[in-house]
Amino acid sequence: LAKDFIPVIEKEIAPLYEGKEITSFREMADLVDKAISPSTGKIYHTAIRYGVTQACLDAVAKSQSKLMAQVVAKGWTKRRKD
């Protein structure tokens, strides 16, 4: 899988994030979760979406000096109140 997916990540997904500010986990994850691959016309494979969203979670956590679990918990609490 990796040999097939790395070029997709480099060519199609990395540009979605380049130059963007680190915002909320949900906002950053949505960039890949809701994206359609221009090469296939479909959503990205689950493994790609999972890996990229985990990288997003890590980036948000580090930018806020929090644990990844704290970022998720904050997002979950906010979502339940909505």
pLDDT for the residue 48: 96
How confident is the prediction along the chain (82 residues), in pLDDT tens digits per residue?
788 999 999 999 999 999 999 999 999 999 999 999 999 999 999 999 999 999 999 999 999 999 999 999 987 776 555 5
Q: Global pTM?
A: 0.86
3-state secondary structure of 43: strand
- 56, with CB counted inside 10 A (0-12, 13-18, 19+), is buried
Residues 6+ apart with CB under 8 A from 52: 9, 13, 29, 32, 44
